Copies of this chain bind each other. A is one copy, B any other.
Amino acid sequence: MSVFPSLERLVEPRSVVIVGASSREGSQGHRLVMNVLEHSRFAGDVHLVNPSGLSICGRPCWPSIDAVPAGDIDVALVIVNASRVMEALRQCAARGIPFAIVMSSGFAEADEAGKALEAEIADLCRATGLRVYGPNCPGFVNVRDRIGLTFSPAFKDDLNGGAIGLATQGGGLGRNVLQSLSYGEGVGLWFSAGNEVDLGVPDFIAHMATDPRISVIAVLMEGIKDGRKLIDALKLARENAKPVVILKVGRSELGVRAAQSHTASIAGSAAVNSAVFRQYGAIEVDDLSELAAVSKLCLRARTLGGDGVCVLSFSGGACALAADAVGAAQLPMASLHEQTTAALREVLPAFASVANPVDTTADIMRDSAMTSACLRTLCEEPNVGAVLFPIPMDYGDITGAMASAIVEASRTSKAVVVPVWMSRRMGKGFQMLESNGLQPFLSVTEAVRALKKVHDWRAGQISACAAQTPAAHGDTGVSGGAEVGQGQMVGATPALTEVDAKRLLGRHGIVVPSGELTMSAAAAAETATRIGFPCVMKVVSPDIAHKTEAGGVRLNLETAADARTAYDEIVANAGRYRPDAIVEGVLVERMLPPGGREMLVGVHRDEAFGPVLTVGLGGILVEVLKDVSHRVIPVDHADARRMIAELRHSDLLGAVRGQPPADVEALAALLVQVSEFVERAHGAIDQLDINPVWVGALGEGAIALDALMVLAQGADANAL
């Protein structure tokens, strides 16, 4: 089912060729050769290509890839000048080499000529099946098997492999993550994707999602080249129950500018990116230290037992501080069973607090066996998933011994012990925790943020696994027989009229008010009488976007006479407002009972991810609260429910101030219908705004009161 290539021969190659091998010390070509020949533990064949014909490290250099003796080659490492890259890649393709890593720079990040070169590479890949990694990247590092297909002088120190997989675009910050994970389980594979002309971050995530030696995937991105592919990769990771932790740099305008000045990617909209990460179960983090810390915690907390956090410290102040942070993060505090508190009571002095937070008092500093005993007891408590252990001070040997007790307890505990080293003196206790891979947090806030993210991810995995049966819902209120007008499709603003937009929505199952387009005062009166009072009348004109402003809307009409008068007034107002406007008629609709909530539902096209569905509070609250949530389409019923629940003020849909709760299920169903409609339209819908959506009380449904729809240029409304 996977759309992703198998990267096995790239990740674990048995034969490589280095194109641009150099004997000049300090050159990238030389460092690459040294990394592969000297610093790697690479048993396969290494071929060197350099037209000079020199030999390097006693190995011959071939003048070209063609000249390399017969035999399978898995990966070509290309580090020649940008102008000579195409030639090398053509030879790779001709020879059937499946992968080329192009480390050279001077492509899209440099100038237009470089962009053109990238287009050529992409064409070659499509035509020949060659897969290209890069260009403009430091290469690939398989730390766990000690294979360095990179020119980085730091590779020789990349010694700490492990079950964390890392995918980045730029190289610089990626190395920070490697350094941060120097102890315990570290980074096993590091893909640094560069300009992503062919293979990119999604391909690497996808590989790691099914690589049995990778458990957690850390991702650092500055731009998103192919949003849909990224989504597929995130899905694959979720199916394989592997957390993906993402830091997306370039979220603010300032950050985008900074990122763009050194990469060639689209930054994407921060709100949509975050929504996608949430939608597909990735963990988004805000800082680089958090990327490493949360990845590590995901790994350490793999076998998390209970769900609650227990705070343990020998300082009352630290206990209160940590409990505050846990409370503020809305993380569950574990409640301790009586036998647990009894066991603590046996170990601790009488004035200690054995409730959660457990304040051992400074008495525990006398004897590290007390720390061990407390940890053992808490780690065995079934309600405890994590023990948060803030150490407020460096007390030399005393905190050193405590650290030993923590390391010891961590070895066998099913609960994860999370030490926080709060002092800036990084004494032996810190070193002990760090070198044993416990990655102590440096502040309580950071530790709690990380725990919260891991906790939420786990909760999301569980709910994603639970079966979700969408509730059946929705009758259409209008019959959608009439043809949709095409007149307004020509010209600069191909927006459909309200009548046409509603007709289309109605045809796809979305409930709109009963109503009809009328073309005379008499017809309006007749229609109003037929559909029932009170009714609403609105001008219909492709030239009038702001109907209310134009005096083109009348509410609360109670009689046929009212409707007749309203018709004439609306037409007259429209004429005054814009004398050249083509007025197609006046829409007469049944007015809905008061008390409904006003929401908005919209669709727009995101550069990276395609059509994005938005739900939010409508009416006057739109502008002020700016309370919306997004999902990329398609959206299922469970997603739709989550979108609604995510709104900061979703409480407004509950029973507030004596109003009955709103029909949230109907709103969710409408979201799914809109998603399906847009999906079936295959790109024909550029923009859709249903604002307001009237959401009645439970059982009353959700109805699209107004709609603005813009089709893609050339799209045919009647085909939808």
Contacts and interface: CB of A to CB of B under 8 A. Distances in A.
A434 B424 contact: yes
A306 interface: no
Contact of A423 (B179, B257, B290): B179
Given A252-B328, A445-B286, A170 B258 contact: no
A255 interface: yes
Contacts of A327: 251-255
A163 to B, nearest CB: 19
Interface stretch (A406-414, A513-521, A554-562, A648-656): A648-656
Contact of A321 (B249, B434, B442, B659): B249
A139 interface: no
Interface string A334-371: 00000000000000000001010101001000000000
A262 interface: yes
A326 interface: yes
Given A176-B392, A288-B392, A316 B170 contact: yes
Given A286-B445, A442-B289, A657-B623, A259 B180 contact: no
A315 B251 CA distance: 17
A540 B333 CA distance: 47
Interface string A245-270: 00101111111111101110000000
A397 interface: no
B182 A261 contact: no
Interface in A599-642: 620, 623-625
Interface string A288-317: 111010000000000000000001000111
B170 A321 contact: no
A86 interface: no
A173 B391 CA distance: 10
Given A357-B258, A393-B172, A249 B324 contact: yes
A67 to B, nearest CB: 35
Nearest to A171: B317
A320 B424 contact: no
Contacts of A262: 316-317, 319-320, 353, 359
A176 B651 contact: no
A321 B287 contact: yes
A458 interface: no
A179 B394 contact: yes
Contact of A324 (B251, B316, B320, B624): B251
A542 to B, nearest CB: 23
Nearest to A358: B258
Contacts of A651: 623-624
Contacts of A252: 323-324, 326-328
Contacts of A362: 172
B620 A353 contact: no
Contacts of A176: 392-393, 422-423
A423 B323 CA distance: 28
A172 B249 contact: no
B170 A620 contact: no
A247 to B, nearest CB: 8
Contact of A254 (B318, B323, B359): B323
Nearest to A430: B426
A28 to B, nearest CB: 13
A476 interface: no
Interface in A63-115: none
Given A180-B423, A321-B255, A316 B624 contact: no
A220 interface: yes
Interface residues of A, number: 78
A320 B652 contact: no
A222 interface: yes
A259 B320 contact: yes
Interface string A183-203: 000000000000000000000
B316 A258 contact: yes
A359 B261 contact: yes
A244 interface: no
Contacts of A326: 252, 254
A443 interface: yes
A259 B318 CA distance: 9
A290 to B, nearest CB: 8
A425 interface: yes
Interface in A455-493: none
B254 A422 contact: no
Contact of A170 (B317, B623, B656, B658): B317
A278 interface: no
A508 interface: no
Nearest to A442: B442
Contacts of A30: none
Nearest to A263: B316
Contacts of A625: 625, 649
Q: Which of A250, A316, A656 has the most CB of B within 10 A?
A: A316
A173 B359 CA distance: 14
Contacts of A220: 317
Contacts of A287: 321, 325, 443-445
A651 B627 CA distance: 14
A428 interface: no
B321 A288 contact: yes
A175 interface: yes
A362 B105 CA distance: 14
A326 B256 CA distance: 12
A394 B182 CA distance: 12
B316 A254 contact: no
A417 B191 CA distance: 34
Given A424-B434, A649-B624, A324 B172 contact: no
Contacts of A182: 424-425
Contacts of A318: 172-173
A557 to B, nearest CB: 19
A428 to B, nearest CB: 14
A554 to B, nearest CB: 17
Interface in A425-439: 425-426, 434
Contacts of A320: 222, 249-250, 255-256, 258-259, 262
Given A172-B392, A258-B322, 12 more contacts: A170-B316, A173-B317, A179-B394, A180-B423, A249-B321, A252-B323, A254-B323, A256-B320, A259-B320, A287-B321, A289-B442, A442-B442
16 contacts: A173-B318, A175-B392, A179-B425, A251-B327, A254-B323, A258-B322, A258-B353, A259-B317, A262-B316, A262-B320, A286-B445, A289-B443, A289-B445, A620-B659, A623-B651, A624-B651
